């Protein structure tokens, strides 16, 4: 469940995140960073970060997280929706969803509305 980056960079694991980058809170409403391009390819999303041209291939869960992070939904709402869609309790998928959001934020593909 990692972001695959074709530009030679790899997303930081949560443990490698700088201490000033707080973990996602349930009230966060992450949204796409301005300028990030999302392209569909074989049922997945490829994100292109304009600042350096980095490419990121998302798996099925990452793709759904990306789609739901619209700046309107809270982290808890994203987790609940994915849980409902996958017929899994929110508690079973919460860690994976939080990790995806954290990695997307670390890579400056998602931001929190200000």
The DSSP call for residue 14 is G
3/62 Cα distance (integer angstroms) = 8
In the prediction, which pLDDT does 4 show?
44
Q: What is the structure's pLDDT at 113?
A: 75
pLDDT of residue 14: 35
Distances (CA, A) of 66 to 16, 18, 22, 31, 92: 22, 22, 19, 8, 19
Nearest to 57 by CA among 108, 1, 113: 1
What global pTM score does this model have? 0.75
Residues 6+ apart with CB under 8 A from 25: 75
Classify residue 20 by its DSSP letter: T
pLDDT digits (tens, 9 = 90+) for 35-61: 999 999 787 899 999 889 898 999 999
Of all residues in the chain, the percent with pLDDT exceeding 70 is 75
Q: What is the pLDDT of residue 2?
A: 43
């Amino acid at each position: 469940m990692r972001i695959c980056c074709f530009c030679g960079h790899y997303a930081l694991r949560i443990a490698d995140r700088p201490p000033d980058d707080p973990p996602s809170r349930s009230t966060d409403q992450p949204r796409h960073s301005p300028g990030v391009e999302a392209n569909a390819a074989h049922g997945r999303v490829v994100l292109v970060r304009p600042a350096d041209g980095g490419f990121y291939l998302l798996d099925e869960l990452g793709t759904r997280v990306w789609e739901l992070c619209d700046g309107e939904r809270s982290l808890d709402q994203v987790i609940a929706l994915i849980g409902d869609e996958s017929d899994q309790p929110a508690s079973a998928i919460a860690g994976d969803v939080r990790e995806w959001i954290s990695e997307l934020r670390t890579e400056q593909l998602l931001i929190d509305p200000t």
